[in-house]
Amino acid sequence: MARILTGITSSGKPHLGNILGAILPGIELSEQKNNESLFFIADLHSIISVKDAALVKEHTKAIAAAWLAFGFNTDNNIFYRQSRIPEVTELTWYLNCHTPFPMLQNAHAFKEKSNKLADVNAGLFTYPVLMASDILMYDANIVPVGKDQQQHLEMTRDIARSFNHYYNEEIFVLPEAKIDEEVMTVPGTDGQKMSKSYGNTIDVFLPEKQLRKNVMRIVTDSTPLEEPKNPDTCNVFALYKLLASPARVEEMRNNYKGGNYGYGTAKQELYEVILEKYAKERALFNELMNNPDTIESKLLQGEEKAREIGIHVLKRVRKVLGFNR
Ligand code: ADP
Ligand code: TRP
C-alpha cells in the first residue's frame, strides 16, 4: 500500500494552480487501488501570512469545498485540517532541534524575503520544518505537489534521513515528491507562478461575470490585432493549453500565427473553456459552500483517523528522544 499525502495552505481562495498542481493529481492517485490518501488544509501554515481568524476559516472552507467538488472520496481516504491534529507542532519542535540553520536559510520562501528581515517571522523561517512534520508524521510515501514545493520535499527527505541515521533506526519513512511535468508551474494572470500570495490567481469558482473579468485581467503584450502572434510566449495560450482539447489548442495556435486574431478573443475562448470544463465542479462547489455542515462532518471524520496514525508515528519519535510516557 502506498500512502499519498498533500496539503494546501488556507492563506487564500483555491485557484487553478492548486487544482492542476495538487488537487487533480492527488485525486487521481487516491483512486488507484491499494493507495490510501491523506489530504489536508494547511491552516497552521496560513497564519504565517494571514492573521485574521474569520478569513482563515473562510479560506479553509473554500479549499475543503474545492477538494470535494473535484470528487475526493472522503469515505475511503482521510481529509482533515492540519490544526486539528496539534501533535504536529510537537513533532515540529523535535525536528527543529535536528535541522541545521543553513538549510532553512537556503529555503526559497525565506530567501525571497531575506532582504527585508523585519518582515520575516520565525514561522516563515521554520515553515519547511512544519511541512516536514506534516509529511513524516503520517508515514507518507508519495507527495503530489507543484514544482514550487520540490525544495521542501528535498528538505523533508534530508531531515528524515539524518534523523534516522542519528538514532540508527528507521523512525521515518522517506517520502517521494510527485511532480506532474505538464503542469509543473501554472502561470498566473501576470505570467509569474500563480500564487495566492501574488494576487495573480484565476478562481474558477467565481460567478460568471467575475470569472470573465478575472480572465480578462491576464497580461498580454501589445502586438496589434492584425499581426501574427507568438503563442509560446503568451499567458493566455499557456493556460488554454492546460485546459482545452488538443484539437482546440492547435486551432488557437494557428489563429495566433495567422494574425487578425486578438488577445480579447483568445481570453473569451479561455473563459468559455473554463465554464465548460468545470461546470459540474462549479455547481458542486457553490452547493457545498452553502452547506458548511456537510464539509464539517467530513473533516471531523477524517481528523479522527488522521490523529490515530499521527500519534502512532509520534510515539516512535518520543521513544528515541526519551519522552515516551
Ligand atoms: P499558493 O502558492 O497559492 O499559496 P499553496 O502554496 O497553498 O499555493 O500550494 C498548494 C499546492 O498547490 C502545492 O502542491 C503547490 O505546489 C500547488 N500549486 C500552487 N500554485 C501552483 C502553480 N502555480 N502551479 C502548479 N502548482 C501549484
Ligand atoms: N507548503 C505547501 C504549499 O504552500 C502546503 C503544504 C503544507 C504541504 N504542508 C504540506 C504540501 C505537506 C504537501 C505536503 O504549497
Q: Is the CB of 7 under 6 A from ligand 2?
A: yes
Name the strand (E) or helix (H) holding 109.
Answer: helix 108-111
Domain residue ranges of the chain, discontinuous segments joined by + = 2-186+292-321, 205-277
Among 23, 29, 45, the mutation site with the greatest number of ligand 2 atoms within 8 A of its Cβ is: 45
The protein residue with its alpha carbon nearest to ligand 1, atom 18, reads: 18
| pLDDT recorded at residue 216 | 98
Mean pLDDT of 161-179: 97
Mean pLDDT of 245-273: 97
Q: How far is residue 173's CA from residue 73's CA, in Å, rounded to a whole number?
A: 25
DSSP letters, 247-286, are HHHHHHHHHHHHSS--HHHHHHHHHHHHHHHTHHHHHHHH
Report CA-CA distances (Å) from 283 to 69, 230, 239, 294.
Answer: 8, 35, 22, 15
Mean pLDDT of 183-199: 91
Q: Is the CB of 145 under 6 A from ligand 2?
A: yes
Mean pLDDT of 167-190: 92
pLDDT, one tens digit per residue, over 24-34 is: 999 999 999 99
pTM score, two decimals?
0.95
User: C-alpha grid cell for residue 41?
Assistant: 488544509
Residue 8 alpha carbon, nearest atom of ligand 2: 5
Does residue 325 carry a pLDDT above 90?
Answer: no
pLDDT, one tens digit per residue, over 30-53 is: 999 999 999 999 999 999 999 999
The protein residue with its alpha carbon nearest to ligand 1, atom 21, reads: 17
Does residue 184 carry a pLDDT above 80?
Answer: no
CATH code for residues 205-277: 1.10.240.10
pLDDT, one tens digit per residue, over 200-258 is: 999 999 999 999 999 999 999 999 999 999 999 999 999 999 999 999 999 999 999 99
Q: How far is the CA of 153 from the centre of ligand 2 (A)?
A: 9
* Local confidence band at 146 (pLDDT 50, 70, 90 cut-offs): confident
Q: What is the mean pLDDT of the chain?
A: 96
Q: How far is residue 4's CA from residue 1's CA, in Å, rounded to a whole number?
A: 10
Which residues fall within 8 angstroms of residue 267, CB to CB, at 6 or more apart? 215, 216, 218, 236
Kindly report the CATH class assigned to 2-186+292-321. alpha beta
Q: Is the CB of 177 under 6 A from ligand 2?
A: no
Residue 146 alpha carbon, nearest atom of ligand 2: 15
User: C-alpha grid cell for residue 318?
Assistant: 518520543
* Residue 106, beta-bridge partner list: none
Q: How far is residue 154's CA from residue 268's CA, in Å, rounded to a whole number?
A: 40
Q: How far is the CA of 224 from the centre of ligand 1 (A)?
A: 34
Ligand found nearest the CA of 63: 1
Q: Is the CB of 134 under 6 A from ligand 2?
A: yes
Q: Is the CB of 6 under 6 A from ligand 2?
A: yes
